[in-house]
Structure 1
């Protein structure tokens, strides 16, 4: 019988006004890949922070038994000395240091306080080889992609003689190719006897690699299931407490007149003046319509959206924008917002929110005139607005004064939506609106999109998940290499047709 390497018994963790974990139990067997699932805010990351010493012993109730001994970790360093290493969703690499420097940061290869750079580089090469990277150890981290940065983090964990590897949403920002490579690496580690705990919202990935799955809901353990019992439907039912037979809420579209028209839109790379990123795009959005843009990674969808929203991306931007048939100036973010265009970024943590401020200020920041009198903010009016939108979008927070950085990903996304809803745009561009959030929160986001369309808003959705686009849109554009290569009614579309449009376009280009 396989030996248990980790037990967490009756873990309870309380923050001011919120009980994040309540008597949670978890057992992990040696050499397995153990997945932890749950909705945003269920307590998954909190549990792993307790395990790794981010929340030190004494700040929670319960026991951690590792390799048969009770542990009292007071810091991450304590847990790492025992071979427990956590890789957070937000990577902890220093961009302007080299790969080698990052791998051994805090664990320097030094003698008498002097770093041995030959040993550092040789050690880095060996570790990079173990995770399938051939990069020069002297390469700056800022010069490699997110997928490779994730592998550098894992190489860093291997340098610490990892025995229990914890990965929090490791594939959330990765392409399908990079995700597949990372999952294959975890299976390779398993064959070498390394135990892994993975937190993920991607249920297809969990079904593929996990030996067992523990589901947490509302800070409590719901169940642990073995490989033979793992199915997406069962995981979803355990996560949300109900069956989601239909993952996309029904909607009867009422499409009206053209609201936004973009003609002959072209954009060049912000640094490389001769490299054209967006090539003569024409699109239209109608009142009450949800339109999707499908395409592979690097197709230019985000670049198009950002350039349209106040020319936030690119240079040498040309083309025309019409609202209700009238040509408008969207050359700055202020002008775009003034014309009724809003853009909810795919990177909510960097560009969409002020993470160190509370829900209230984040909700009103895009429309301060709506809560001001004679240029002075009315604090009571602002509080009322924040509470109204907190209720409308079902933001789960202790109050409107809770710091946004402490909310789950799904609730952060609802704050982003609240910000733009209060600005009352006519056109709402949603870039990867459900990235990194669970199926329950996704359903709530879809419901909000439906409500906005019913109010007559014109909505443009960019998503890397083709089933999502097929489930929530009325019409689809397909992009490839900066061009629109297909347009179709969603009712007549399929994933195969979308991919066919892309492949045909690539064939013509070659």
Structure 2
């Protein structure tokens, strides 16, 4: 196999930070090459150097592509050579059609006049290649995230891609959509397309990758060949620099009295009249207990959590929430917080944080009264609170004045947790608390959850990763189509039992 890409001694510095330190990457023609590393290790920075987002001259080192020195000044330069990158946050315009998105910036036109027949014909060809049955005129906003990923790949194929880079392509996908995407990568490989995949999901890396390059702290640590066998433990060890045979920290499981009891909870869709999304759900969570909610994407888990937390989703909500046996008012977010509830959203960037603000500002957002006197914010006290939680949660940052948008995913998640811990909740609802976070940062989040349960907090944990639920929870409720279809104690729970409850009910 010939070498398609070689990045030699790539060094990239930002003010006060060396993001990449003599990184080397060699990718062979027609292979799927995985890049693994913790959040902040430098994976995305390396790909931005390759694709011209960080242009030649802004870094040290050399890029050799198709046997020649390459100096990309921008994305257009790299795309003209067949290098296309698909970022974790999709770059589609929701209000435009699939066809318009695929050829946006690369329109089929003659003399400034759009050739719609040609555009739609070519779009149909591309959609067949990626296995999408939707029509070219379908508005992107009307299709799910899994299909949107396939539209992004179709868009890449429209540019005669030779090297396709996918950054966390399955982070927001459920298992079925993830497998379809991985199988598509293998199909593209069979047609000569070379792929680089950045992923934290090591089972997926083992499924598709021919070679794995591990980066830690901005440096190349190892290169692993699938022909010699890819062991998850080896990848994890190289990523975090220590053995992690125990992925989930041990804790003493000791549940106390019931803290929160939800009974006969019903929620109707806010836009579609007559569609009941949550159906007569009842459950409880005890002090010191971590209760999981398992289910496929679309089963209603997030809708349940948001409707309980201040009715922030849904309409015509009915049912009762009790804390310590007493009914509480959760009809607004303010009232839910006052009652002792906190909700860590699955969308930390869109709903959990203000990315352009500092750690200090974000930490106190949900409890400004706690750092104010007679309605006047005390910035010194705010800084003290943020600093305290930075130390408690071991958030990696030079200062609480750092903008949250500049932090890694794991550290952003710690800031979200700090924000809600400062409200001193009795019940903490965690919705996909480790989504898009590397294995080392996951362990740190798990340790924080265990500490909270040891303090007597009641924790509800929603996760699409069944091993995570099995490793962390005392009990697991299984959800399907808006209803609970089973409850399993930790000792009797397994992935097979959870899936059987989902498919047989």
- Pairwise same-fold verdict (TM > 0.5): yes
SS in 1 for 2:449: helix
Partner of 2:248: 248
SS in 1 for 2:61: strand
Partner of 2:180: 181
Q: CA deviation at 1:17?
A: 2.1
Residues 174-183 or 402-411, more deviating: 402-411
SS in 2 for 1:459: strand
Partner of 2:161: 162
Partner of 1:279: 279
For 1:487 and 1:150, the matched residues in 2 are separated by 33
For 2:245 and 2:449, the matched residues in 1 are separated by 19
- Where in structure 1 do 4 or more consecutive aligned residues deviate above 3 Å? none
Show the 5 A alignment for 1:319-398: 319-398=319-398
For 1:102 and 1:496, the matched residues in 2 are separated by 40
SS in 2 for 1:28: strand
**In the alignment, structure 1 residue 26 sits paired with structure 2 residue 14:** no
For 1:170 and 1:503, the matched residues in 2 are separated by 26
SS in 1 for 2:259: strand
SS in 2 for 1:423: coil
SS in 1 for 2:166: strand
Contact persistence 2:285–2:291 (CA under 8 A):
yes
For 1:103 and 1:488, the matched residues in 2 are separated by 45
Partner of 2:218: 219
TM-score by structure 2 length? Answer: 0.98
**In the alignment, structure 1 residue 119 sits paired with structure 2 residue 99:** no
Residues 75-84 or 15-24, more deviating: 15-24
Partner of 2:143: 144
Contact persistence 1:17–1:398 (CA under 8 A):
no
Partner of 1:508: none
For 1:145 and 1:453, the matched residues in 2 are separated by 35
Partner of 1:458: 458
Contact persistence 2:174–2:464 (CA under 8 A):
no
Show the 5 A alignment for 1:72-111: 72-111=71-110
For 2:497 and 2:30, the matched residues in 1 are separated by 42
Deviation string for 1:4-37 (max 9, x for gaps)? 1111111111122221111111010111100000
Q: CA deviation at 1:418?
A: 1.0
**In the alignment, structure 1 residue 416 sits paired with structure 2 residue 404:** no
SS in 2 for 1:179: helix
For 2:347 and 2:48, the matched residues in 1 are separated by 23
For 1:80 and 1:340, the matched residues in 2 are separated by 51
Q: CA deviation at 1:467?
A: 1.2
**In the alignment, structure 1 residue 470 sits paired with structure 2 residue 479:** no
Contact persistence 2:216–2:240 (CA under 8 A):
yes
Partner of 2:198: 199
Partner of 1:311: 311
Contact persistence 1:273–1:315 (CA under 8 A):
no
Partner of 1:434: 434
For 1:58 and 1:503, the matched residues in 2 are separated by 55
Contact persistence 2:174–2:296 (CA under 8 A):
no
Partner of 2:231: 231
Q: CA deviation at 1:396?
A: 1.8
Deviation string for 1:182-231 (max 9, x for gaps)? 11111111111111000001111111110100000011100101112311
**In the alignment, structure 1 residue 13 sits paired with structure 2 residue 18:** no
Q: CA deviation at 1:497?
A: 2.2
SS in 1 for 2:422: helix
SS in 2 for 1:384: helix
SS in 1 for 2:21: strand
Deviation string for 1:428-477 (max 9, x for gaps)? 00001111111111100000000001111100001111111111111111
For 1:198 and 1:343, the matched residues in 2 are separated by 32
Deviation string for 1:361-412 (max 9, x for gaps)? 1111111111111211111111121122122212222322222222221111
Contact persistence 1:295–1:480 (CA under 8 A):
yes
Residues 337-346 or 112-121, more deviating: 112-121
Q: CA deviation at 1:145?
A: 0.7
Q: CA deviation at 1:504?
A: 3.5
For 1:17 and 1:91, the matched residues in 2 are separated by 30
Q: CA deviation at 1:349?
A: 1.4
Q: CA deviation at 1:297?
A: 2.1
